[in-house]
Amino acid sequence: MSGPLEAVIVGKWSIGYADAHHMTILQFEFKDRAPVTFALRPDHAALLATAIQDQLKSPPRPKQMN
């Protein structure tokens, strides 16, 4: 990813499973805006979790400023 990073800080998050729809539910809550809720297929949720774990295991090294 290049360019400036624009991000919103998450206050709280929760995860669940909607059995009737076979979807993983991921909700993010914020102090200054409405919550955002994602419904993911279980295989996509697993890929997202794996990607997060992989990133945490070997984060990119910051660029050195001279």
Grade residue 1 by pLDDT with cuts at 50, 70 and 90: low
pTM recorded for the entire structure: 0.70
Q: Summarize the confidence of residues 15-21 as an average pLDDT.
A: 95
Q: Which residues contact 44 (CB under 8 A, 6 or more apart)?
A: 24
- pLDDT top residue among 16 and 58: 16
| Rounded Cα–Cα distance for residues 18 and 54 (Å) | 26
Dihedral angle over CA of 31, 5, 53, 37, nearest 10: 40
The two beta strands, 36-40 and 12-18, are unpaired
Q: Please report, rounded to a whole number, the percentage of residues in the chain having pLDDT higher than 90.
A: 61
